Structures are given as C-alpha cells and as structure tokens.
Amino acid sequence: MTCRKRIRLSVSTAFLLAALVSQAEAPWTNRLSEADRRRSNPYAGQPEAIAAGSRLFADHCAKCHGEDALGRKKRPNLRSREVQTAADAELFWMLKNGNLRHGMPSWSSLPEEERWQLITYLKSLGEYQGNGHSGTEKEKANK
C-alpha cells in the first residue's frame, strides 16, 4: 500500500469514527419515532394521577433520584429544566426504553397508565435547579 493510500484510509477512518461517536452521543430524544412523538398524556394535570404518580415514584424512582427528585450522586435531577420542559411523550419513551448506558432501566413492565401517572407527578413538581431558586410560582408560595 502506498503512502498516499494509507493517508486516505486513515483520514476516511477518522471521519467514520467521528461520525459514529457523534451519533452515539446524540441526544436520546433523537431516537423517538414520529408515532412516539405524537403520544399525549391522558392524565396530564389530573390530581388523582399526581397522587398515584407520587406513590409510584416513592416505590420505583426515589431510591436513585431521591425523594425530592433532585437526583443523587450521578443520577439526574428530574426537576431540571431539561426534564421539566421535555414533552410527556419523550419522558414516556424514556420510561419504556430506559438508557442502560447511563444507568436508567426500562420500566416497560409498568402498565402504560402507571407510566403516564409518573410523568404527571414529575411535571407537577416543577423546575428546581437545587440552588435555592424555584422554577414555579407554586413552590415560591410554599416557601
């Protein structure tokens, strides 16, 4: 193999690896199908769903994300802007599929109703960055 061919092969390989790495690090929301994106939460804002979601959160999520949903160690803050502004359909997809690479198991064994209730509860908490500044008027009024 000539020197010129080796250089071309090396450059081509480098571009291919860069493309693969960038794809692997792409946001998880890029993995949703259009059908997944069109889903809507049938329990959004319902007080009964918030209460049910709170119980589910305590049973299944608080161990990793904390009772306050602000995260623990390397587990994410579920009251972050990213989570609170995510579409319900995106959160539903994450609960269904998980992300084992980042320690999030799939909760597909939970019935769909319960997954929607969890999302309803999480959204009811509002945004909180953990710096003493609440993202919702409701939290400010309760302080």
pLDDT digits (tens, 9 = 90+) for 118-143: 999 999 999 987 654 334 434 333 33
Residues 4 and 63 in one domain: no
Same domain, 105 and 120: yes
Domain match, 105 and 43 both = yes
Question: Per DSSP, what are the bridge partners of residue 128?
Answer: 134
Read off the pLDDT band of 13 (50, 70, 90).
very low
Residues 80-124 pLDDT 10s: 999 999 999 999 999 999 988 888 999 999 999 999 999 999 999
Q: What is the pLDDT of residue 34?
A: 92
Q: Are residues 104 and 70 in the same domain?
A: yes
Give yes or no: residues 112 and 124 share one domain: yes
**What is the domain range of residue 15?**
1-30
Number of domains in the chain: 2
Claim to verify: residue 123 and residue 100 sit in the same structural domain = yes
- The answer on 91 and 127 residing in a single domain is yes
CA distances from 111 to 56, 118, 124 (A): 11, 11, 20
> What is the model's pTM?
0.72
Q: Taking every pair of C-alpha atoms in the chain, what is the biggest distance, in angstroms?
A: 73
12 and 65 housed in the same domain? no
The radius of gyration of the chain's CA atoms, rounded to the nearest angstrom, is 20
- Cα–Cα distance, 67 to 131 (Å, whole number): 17
